[in-house]
Amino acid sequence: MTRQASEPALPRSGAAAVLATVAGQFFGGELPVRLRAWDGSEAGPATGPVLVLHSQQALRRLLWHPGELGLAQAYVTGELDVDGDITDGLRAVWQAARNRGLADARPAGTKLAGTKLGGTKLPLAGWAAAAGAAIRLGVPGSRPRTPASQARIRGRLHSKSRDQAVIAHHYDVPAAFYELILDPQMAYSCALWTSADPDYTLADAQRDKLDAICGKLELTPGQRLLDVGCGWGSLAIHAARSYGAQVTAVTLAAEQAAYVRAKVARLGLSDLVTVVNQDYRDITGGQYDAAASVEMGEHVGDREYPAFCALLRDRLRPGGRLLIQQMSRGSRAPGGGAFIEAYIAPDMHMRPLGQTVSLLDGAGLEILGVEAMRKDYTRTIRAWLASLEQHWAEARTMIGAEAARVWRLYLAGGALAFEEGRMGVDQILARAAGGPAVGPARDTTRDTTRDATPGSGRPAGAGRPR
């Protein structure tokens, strides 16, 4: 790139060396990844992923939005890129930041000095050097324009209109895009990987997850199932076609409702599956034999969750079963993080597993079992990411280059969060009061020691009925 007349002259070593020197003070040594700057200069490790800064604009975003949001904005706009495996790049940067304690880094001597992770105080000299380097490299400037793919949500938190806008932001895109990424059943949730056989596919794992849910709910022909947050219809269709259940499938996303209705009609299941496009708070009636909510509870909200539990309880007949599949985080990180909340799921709220179990118990539901699936989600998301990369040109054409980069970053970061135990996902089986007291559908406990998530509120190694 040719240097513009307005830009300050760079030292002979180039922009990358200047940035590496400054970054070294924060990371406590060599950069965790190689850095390539807009002037062609490079610095850092000779092997592994290369972080590519195409212009000063990428760094300018970090001045205005320090941390995760600024980096995400630079990546989705193409001002910052990763040459190599993006997951490996994220892993290296996150590991270095965690080791150095940069999650809460502030200049020493300020009120917020020190870090939560490492206790290291960054000297004022380091911040002064960073400011000086920014000026020399021509980084300071006006606030960059917010990327078009970033959510713009208004209204009262978790009002029906705001929740509608949040869901539309992520789901009301062509179903054909999701077909590029997901398995043929269109299950957009954690699969259950029951085999290490190379021929065992994502479709097999999703089928096993759907069978596990239907088995835990003890579905039999003619029973009424309420599917709250039905997504693209995988559970509703599987429960109807394979178990003969009468299913009411509820979704707030118009695109999903239209897709599921069309698929149900095409499969000849219209007499078994009713699709309703509405807010979960508008669900009426009761006496369902079973209810399920698969990765929808994260969108309900913290204050609204007790009412959500009560609604599910009230929709069930005495003794009716409830299956919740839901993501969890540690108590110090209840949301999805700056990137997720800005680009994927604004207003998302996740809590430790123990708190969710307590809320269900407080609503008068008897807890029958919990199964941890954290490592299953790592493998599931990696399969989605592989599909996205395989169909990258089609994805870019279908939803645009910026939105496609949002999805790449989302999937790579999500897989890493589950891999490192910063997030968990669990199936919680419960039943409404009354009716016959029976045990789990089948005794297929598996070892979940590996799945215990820090801050989850559950003991490592506790077996779960599946």
Residues 350 and 264 occupy one common structural domain: yes
Q: What is the pLDDT of residue 332?
A: 67
pLDDT in tens, 63-77: 898 888 999 999 999
Per-residue pLDDT of the chain (466 residues; tens, 9 = 90+): 444 444 444 444 699 998 888 877 666 667 888 999 999 999 988 888 899 999 999 999 988 988 889 999 999 999 999 998 999 988 887 777 666 654 444 433 433 333 333 334 555 666 677 778 888 888 899 999 999 999 999 999 999 999 999 998 988 889 999 999 999 999 999 999 999 999 999 999 999 999 999 999 999 999 999 999 999 999 999 999 999 999 999 999 999 999 999 999 999 999 999 999 999 999 998 899 999 999 999 999 999 999 999 999 999 999 999 999 999 997 766 566 889 989 999 999 999 999 999 999 999 999 999 999 999 999 999 999 999 999 999 999 999 999 999 999 999 999 999 998 989 999 999 999 987 654 444 433 444 333 444 333 333 333 332 2
- Would 10 be classed as within a structural domain? no
Residue 380 has φ and ψ, to the nearest 5°, of -65, -50
332 located within any domain? yes
171 and 127, same domain (yes or no): no
378, 259: one domain: yes
**For residue 159, how many other CB atoms are within 10 A of its CB?**
11
State the residue range of the domain holding 185.
160-451
Please give the distance of CA 314 from its chain centroid, rounded to a whole number: 29
326: part of which helix (H) or strand (E)?
strand 316-329
- Do 284 and 324 fall within a single domain? yes
Does residue 22 sit in the same domain as residue 120? Answer: yes
Helix or strand holding residue 407 (H, E): helix 401-419
pLDDT for 264 equals 98
d(C-alpha 319, C-alpha 344), whole Å: 36
Same domain, 121 and 236: no
Q: How far apart are CA 452 and CA 463, in angstroms?
A: 11
Number of domains in the chain: 2
pLDDT given at position 401: 97
Task: Name the pTM for this structure.
Answer: 0.86
300 domain residue, yes or no: yes
Whether residue 130 is found in the same domain as residue 192: no
Look at residue 122 in the predicted model and tell me its pLDDT.
Answer: 53
What confidence score (pLDDT) does residue 26 get? 66
Residue 238 lies in a domain: yes
User: Does some domain include residue 147?
Assistant: no
Q: What is the DSSP string of 229-256?
A: S-TTSHHHHHHHHHH--EEEEEES-HHH
Last residue of a domain, one of 101, 136, 171: 136
Quote the CA–CA distance of 27 and 351 in Å, as a whole number.
30
The verdict on 218 and 279 lying in the same domain is yes
Is residue 350 within 8 A of residue 327, CB to CB? The reply is: yes
Query: Amino acid letter at 141?
Result: G
* Residue 7 domain-assigned (yes or no): no
Query: Quick one: 165 and 67 in the same domain?
Result: no
Q: Which of 136, 170, 192 is the last residue in one of the domains? A: 136
Cα 243 from Cα 71, distance rounded (Å): 47
The three-class DSSP label of residue 101 is: coil
Decide if 420 is inside a domain. yes
For residue 424, the number of C-alpha atoms closer than 13 Å in the C-beta half-sphere is 29
Domain membership of residue 174 (yes or no) is yes
Q: How many DSSP H helices and E strands does the chain contain?
A: 16, 11
pLDDT at 333: 63
CATH code for the domain in which residue 233 is found: 3.40.50.150
Residues 176 and 294 in one domain: yes
| 358 Cβ contact list (under 8 Å, min separation 6) | none
In a shared domain, residues 105 and 32: yes
Q: Which two tokens stand for residue 314?
A: 């009230």
Q: In this structure, are 108 and 186 located in the same domain?
A: no
Decide: 169 and 346 in contact? Cβ < 8 Å. yes
Read out DSSP for 29-42? SS-SSEEE-TTS-E
- What residues contact residue 265 under an 8 Å CB cut-off, 6+ apart? none
